[in-house]
C-alpha cells in the first residue's frame, strides 16, 4: 500500500473523528453482493494500514466483539456503546454499512448475568437488552445477528437446542421472543439466526442443518420475524463443502422466504499443507465451493469474513499449527497483501 495515496489524519479517538481515510472504493456498485469484515476496535484505532484496507475493500463492517454483552453491559444498569459508536462512525465516514453482532449468545456474557433466574427475570433482562441496544442503532444498523449458535453441538431428538441462560429459564420460545423484541425495536432491520458447522460433508453437519431448519420452520409457522440465516463459515480446510446439502438447505429456506448470508467466513488451516501457495489454493477452493453452493439456490445478501488480515484473527487461539507456521485463514496476509481468498470473494461478489 502506498501511504502517500492517503491523507494522514491525527488521532482524536474520543470524538471518533480520526477514523476516516480518504474516499476509496467503499461504495458498492449496485447489484453486487456487498463484502465486509469483522473489525477489532483496538486495531481500528492503532493501525492506520488496517483502517485503510478496510475502507478499500469493504462495503460492510461488523464488530468482532464490540457489541457483545460483556462489552455493552458492564453491569445490569449500565450500557456502554463506545465500541459500537466508534465502528459506526468509521463506517459512516467511509460509506459503509454496519451489521450488529450479537444479541443472544451463550458466549461473552458478563458474570452478573449468571444470577438471572426464572422465566420472568430472564425475559425482563432480554427485553431491556434488545430494546436498548437495537433501539440505540435503529435505522443505522440494518442487519442484526439476533440469535447466535442456538443449535446443540450434536443435535439429537428433542435435544436440538444448545443449553444457555435463555433456554434454561424461558424454554424453547426464547428464540421467538428475542426476534419479536428486535422487530419491535427496529421494524426495518434484517433479523438473522447465525450458526456454525452447517457447511461440510458428513452426518454431523447434516444433523445441524436439519436442526436449524426445524427451528426456522417452527418460527415461520408461528409467524415470527425471521428474515435470514447466517452461515458463519468458519470452514475447516481439511473438509469438503457439501455442495448439494448446502444448496438444498438454502432452497428450503428460500421456499420459506428466508434469505441467507455469510457472516464470519475464514478457513481454519492447521491441518492444511505447510506450503503457503498450496494452502492458499485449498482455502480459495473451499470459499468458492461454499459461495457457489449457496448461490445455486439463492445468492447470499452479504459476504463477511471474520477479520480481513491474518494479522488479526481468532484462529490461532484454538488452531495453531504443529509445524509452528502461522495461520493464514483470511483474505489478506499479515502484510495486507491480497491472497487468492480475496480474489475468490471479489470474483464471486462481482459476478452475482
Which residues have a catalytic role annotated? 149, 264
In angstroms, give the least distance from the CB of 251 to ligand 9MR: 25
Residues 211/162, Cβ–Cβ less than 8 Å: no
Separation of alpha carbons 173 and 70, rounded Å: 24
Taking CB under 6 A as the criterion, the residue among 264, 269, 280, 310 binding ligand 9MR is 264
Which range in 61-69, 208-216, 240-248, 253-261 contacts ligand 9MR by CB under 6 A? 61-69
Residue 134 CB, nearest distance to ligand 9MR (Å)?
A: 17
Stretch that binds ligand 9MR, among 64-72, 74-82, 115-123, 176-184 (CB under 6 A): 64-72
In terms of Cα–Cα distance, which of 297, 293, 328 is closest to 199? 293
Cis omega (within 30 of 0) for bond into 102: yes
Q: Is 122 helix (H, G, I), strand (E, B) or coil?
A: helix
Q: Is the CA virtual torsion 150, 214, 286, 241 positive or negative?
A: positive
| Residue closer to ligand 9MR (CB basis): 21 or 144 | 144
Helices 203-221 and 243-255 cross at an angle (nearest 10°) of: 0
Q: Please report, as residue ranges, which positions from 173 to 232 form the binding site for ligand 9MR (by CB under 6 A).
A: 232
Residue with cell 502506498: 2
Whole-number Å distance between alpha carbons of 187 and 287: 33
Binding segment toward ligand 9MR, per CB under 6 A, in 63-71, 128-136, 239-247, 341-349: 63-71
Does residue 65 bind ligand 9MR (CB under 6 A)? yes
* Residue carrying C-alpha cell 483470511: 330
| C-alpha of 180 from chain center | 21
Stretch 226-245 residues interacting with ligand 9MR (CB under 6 A): 232
Interface with ligand 9MR (CB under 6 A), residue from 64, 83, 176, 333: 64
Quick check: helix, strand or coil at residue 182?
helix
Q: Closest separation between CB of residue 30 and ligand 9MR, Å?
A: 30
Q: Which of 16, 68, 180, 339 binds ligand 9MR (CB under 6 A)?
A: 68
Distances (CA, A) of 352 to 33, 98, 149: 6, 21, 28
Which grid cell is 30? 449496485
Which x/- pattern, by CB under 6 A, does the window 91-130 give for ligand 9MR?
----------------xx----------------------
Question: Could you tell me the smallest distance in angstroms from the CB atom of residue 5 to ligand 9MR?
Answer: 30
Q: Which span (62-70, 172-180, 183-191, 277-285) binds ligand 9MR, by CB under 6 A?
A: 62-70
Binding site for ligand 9MR (CB under 6 A): 64-65, 68, 107-108, 148, 232, 264, 314
Amino acid at each position: 500500500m502506498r501511504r502517500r495515496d492517503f491523507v494522514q489524519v491525527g488521532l482524536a479517538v474520543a470524538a471518533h473523528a480520526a477514523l476516516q481515510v480518504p474516499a476509496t472504493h467503499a461504495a458498492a456498485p449496485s447489484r453486487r453482493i456487498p463484502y465486509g469484515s469483522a473489525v477489532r476496535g483496538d486495531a481500528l484505532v492503532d493501525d492506520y494500514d488496517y483502517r485503510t484496507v478496510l475502507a478499500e475493500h469493504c462495503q460492510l463492517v461488523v464488530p468482532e466483539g464490540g457489541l457483545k454483552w460483556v462489552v455493552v453491559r458492564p453491569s445490569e444498569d449500565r450500557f456502554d456503546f463506545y465500541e459500537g459508536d466508534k465502528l459506526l462512525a468509521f463506517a459512516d465516514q467511509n460509506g459503509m454499512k454496519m451489521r450488529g453482532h450479537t444479541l443472544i449468545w451463550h458466549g461473552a456474557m458478563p458474570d452478573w448475568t449468571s444470577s438471572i433466574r426464572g422465566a420472568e427475570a430472564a425475559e425482563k433482562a432480554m427485553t431491556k437488552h434488545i430494546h436498548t441496544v437495537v433501539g440505540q442503532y435503529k435505522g443505522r444498523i440494518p442487519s442484526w445477528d439476533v440469535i447466535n449458535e442456538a443449535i446443540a453441538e450434536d443435535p439429537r431428538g428433542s435435544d436440538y437446542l444448545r443449553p444457555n441462560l435463555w433456554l434454561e429459564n424461558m424454554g424453547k420460545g426464547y428464540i421467538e421472543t428475542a426476534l419479536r423484541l428486535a422487530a419491535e425495536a427496529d421494524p426495518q432491520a434484517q433479523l438473522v439466526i447465525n450458526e456454525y458447522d452447517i457447511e461440510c460433508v458428513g452426518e454431523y453437519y447434516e444433523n445441524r442443518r436439519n436442526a436449524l431448519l426445524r427451528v426456522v420452520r417452527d418460527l415461520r409457522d408461528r409467524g415470527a420475524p425471521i428474515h435470514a440465516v447466517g452461515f458463519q463459515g468458519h470452514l475447516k480446510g481439511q473438509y469438503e463443502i457439501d455442495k448439494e446439502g448446502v444448496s438444498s438447505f438454502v432452497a428450503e429456506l428460500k421456499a420459506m422466504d428466508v434469505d441467507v448470508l455469510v457472516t464470519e467466513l475464514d478457513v481454519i488451516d492447521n491441518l492444511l499443507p505447510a506450503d503457503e501457495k498450496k494452502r492458499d489454493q485449498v482455502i480459495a477452493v473451499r470459499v468458492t465451493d461454499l459461495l457457489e453452493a449457496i448461490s445455486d439456490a439463492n445468492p447470499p445478501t452479504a459476504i463477511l469474513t471474520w477479520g480481513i488480515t491474518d494479522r488479526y484473527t481468532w484462529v490461532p487461539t484454538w488452531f495453531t499449527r504443529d509445524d509452528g507456521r502461522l495461520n493464514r485463514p483470511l483474505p489478506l496476509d499479515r502484510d495486507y497483501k491480497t491472497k487468492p481468498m480475496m480474489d475468490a470473494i471479489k470474483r464471486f461478489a462481482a459476478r452475482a
